[in-house]
Structure 1
C-alpha cells in the first residue's frame, strides 16, 4: 500500500489537473464555445477545489495529530500521550 505522502502528492496532482481542466473549459466557453464548456468547467473546478481542500485538511490534520496531548490516563491522572498509531 502506498505511503501517506505518496497519496497526498497524487491527490494534489489530481487537484491541479482538475483545476487546470476547469479553467481551460471556461476559457473555451469564453472563446465562443457552447454551454457544455461552462458546465464541464464549473464541475471540474468544483472537483479540483474539493480535492485541494481535502489535501490541505489532511496535511494540517496529520501535523496536528503528531503532537502529544494532555489526556486523562487510566487511573484518572492526566499524562502526556502521543497520537495513536
Structure 2
C-alpha cells in the first residue's frame, strides 16, 4: 500500500516498569518512531504507557511485536495478538 516504516527502531528488550517507560518515552522524544517489543519481553504494557505519556501523536508511531511459537495456532494467534494490541 506504499506505507514505509522507519529503517531504525528502538528495541525494548528488558525495559520494564517505570524505568522502561522512562527509557521508551525518552527514545520517542529524541526521534525514534519505530518501537519494537514482543509478547515474551513482558513489557507491552510499559510500551503502551510510554506511548500514552509521549508528546508524539500515536499515528506517527510504529509498534512491532512478535508472536511466540506456542501461539501460532490460528485461534490462539488471534487472541494473543488482540491482547498485545490492547496493551500497546
TM-score w.r.t. length of structure 2: 0.27
Tell me: higher relative CO, structure 1 or 2? Use CA pairs within 8 A at least 6 residues apart: 2
More helix by share: 1
Q: Which has the higher Rg, Structure 1 or Structure 2?
A: 1
TM-score w.r.t. length of structure 1: 0.27
